[in-house]
Amino acid sequence: MLALKVGKQGNSLGVTLPKEASARLHVAAGDTLYFTEAPGGYRVTVYDPDFEQQMSVATGIMKRRRNALRELAKR
């Protein structure tokens, strides 16, 4: 478990990730982290649930329209 200290950054609050946490999450300055609700609190992740849902829809379309996409790729 890692403890994060909350600090004031302008009119907002912010936390600083220790090196171990940023290395394990594979994040760098400017990346986006997502807080998702979990039992007993929140989970911090680099996973975007909305993007995952969009990609599953896109995968289904690509499977159904494989021939049409192949023809479009030739042009």
Diameter over CA atoms, the chain: 55
Residue 1 lies in a domain: no
pLDDT score of 13 = 94
Residue 49 lies in a domain: yes
Question: Is the pLDDT score of 49 beyond 80?
Answer: no
Residue 28: partners with Cβ closer than 8 Å, 6 or more residues away: 22
**Domain tally, the chain:** 1
The pLDDT tens digits of the residues spanning 10-19 come to: 999 998 888 9
Identify which of 36, 39, 30 has the alpha carbon closest to the alpha carbon of residue 51: 36
Q: Tokens for 18?
A: 């220790």
pLDDT score of 57 = 86
pTM over 0.75: no
Domain assignment of residue 53, given as a range: 6-74
Q: How confident is the model at residue 45 (pLDDT cuts 50, 70, 90)?
A: confident
